[in-house]
Chains A and B, each alone.
Chain A
């Protein structure tokens, strides 16, 4: 980080009320849309919960803040998706691994988002259902494209509206 002009305006600090509120709204929205298959196009449903976790990987600088986000996701999964905890725990685990390894990324918000979403989506299906990964490559490619498009759009929106200036996230 180079100075105060490059710091985040909304995501500044570790646990400001505004930040908690913003994340809570985004996570609840992701759960509602995911549970209702809201963005499903021709049966391809983007993994919004995974996307939300990876946005946290990219945008959160402090481990404590990211753990809080993961905890919120797990807590809300008992409300919105109580029957499928496995997927949520896998997504949370992948997010945590990505957060701990993000120092090895490029430092560019957009490239890092694409890398993390690409590897994260593949990793998610590799763990949760390996058979699906090898038997439905077209569906996987479609979902990868969909996830990356939504992820990059969200990052673009956030960096344009909540950041004072696009900057490296790597701390």
Chain B
């Protein structure tokens, strides 16, 4: 009988471990012990990033774009898709095809269906997502590729002779979306089966599973 209780408590312990892992309670503790030098570095990096964002905002003039803010209140529960339900719909003027952002300038997806009070968003993490993007470093991204959605989105059809590097920025270049929305950065480069092509994995700075609020660029009319 004791054996049964031990097994039961072991299973319970595993459950708690998964719960705390999800909440980053155990595994985030090491981050508290940052040295003062590391904190200074982070502050400097933060200032640099803020400046970079401001430059990009001025350049893209996205401040002038009207935004709608929406709350995420449900995510597709199974693994074969990554769509979200947000709490605004046709009553708020939402239309199919409008781009959805995770944060200002950060492309998350686009509206695929609208009802009176809710809308469905297909994200770049959905296996059904395909869109044109450009890759580059600095202010002149220029290598064209196709963004294929998935748990970790990938960049496909990159010419083998194109010089891409880890950390290169990826921006939207699809006529269905505003030009120049930040999509993510390259985290891994691999050759494609076809020798004349290469592909890369995309890293985003946010966790799509933890988004509570999204922004919709209203009034956008692209070519779908």
User: What size tier do the contact residues of chain B reach?
Assistant: 20 to 34
Q: Show the binding face of B for A, using Cβ within 8 Å.
A: 4, 7-8, 11, 18-19, 22, 74-81, 85, 118, 120, 127-128, 150-152, 209
Of the candidates A49, A143, A160, the one whose C-beta lies within 8 Å of that of B79 is A143
A81 at the interface (CB under 8 A from B): yes
* Known contacts A49-B77, A132-B80; is-contact A157 B8 (Cβ 8 Å): yes
| Contact A84 to B77, CB < 8 A, known contacts A38-B22, A43-B151, A161-B8 | yes
In the complex, 30 of the A-B residue pairs with CB atoms within 8 angstroms, ordered by the A residue number, are A35-B75, A37-B209, A38-B19, A41-B18, A43-B209, A45-B77, A45-B78, A45-B79, A47-B78, A47-B79, A49-B77, A81-B77, A83-B85, A83-B118, A84-B77, A125-B80, A128-B78, A128-B80, A129-B81, A129-B127, A131-B128, A132-B80, A133-B80, A136-B80, A136-B127, A136-B150, A143-B79, A156-B7, A157-B7, A161-B4
| Chain A residues with CB under 8 A of B118 | 83
- With A42-B151, A43-B152 known, 11 other A-B pairs at CB within 8 A are A38-B19, A43-B209, A47-B79, A83-B118, A125-B80, A128-B78, A128-B80, A129-B127, A136-B80, A139-B79, A160-B4
**1/0 contact string of A58-87 vs chain B (CB within 8 Å):** 000000000000000000000001011001
A135 shortest CB reach to chain B, Å:
6
Is there contact, CB below 8 Å, between A34 and B11? no
Label chain A's interface by main secondary structure: helix
Expressed in whole angstroms, the Cα–Cα distance for A161 and B79 within the complex equals: 31
Are A83 and B120 in contact, with the CB atoms below 8 A?
yes
Q: How far is the CA of A49 from the CA of B81 in the complex (A)?
A: 16
Q: Is A153 an interface residue (CB 8 A)?
A: yes
Residues of chain B within 8 A (CB-CB) of A119 are none
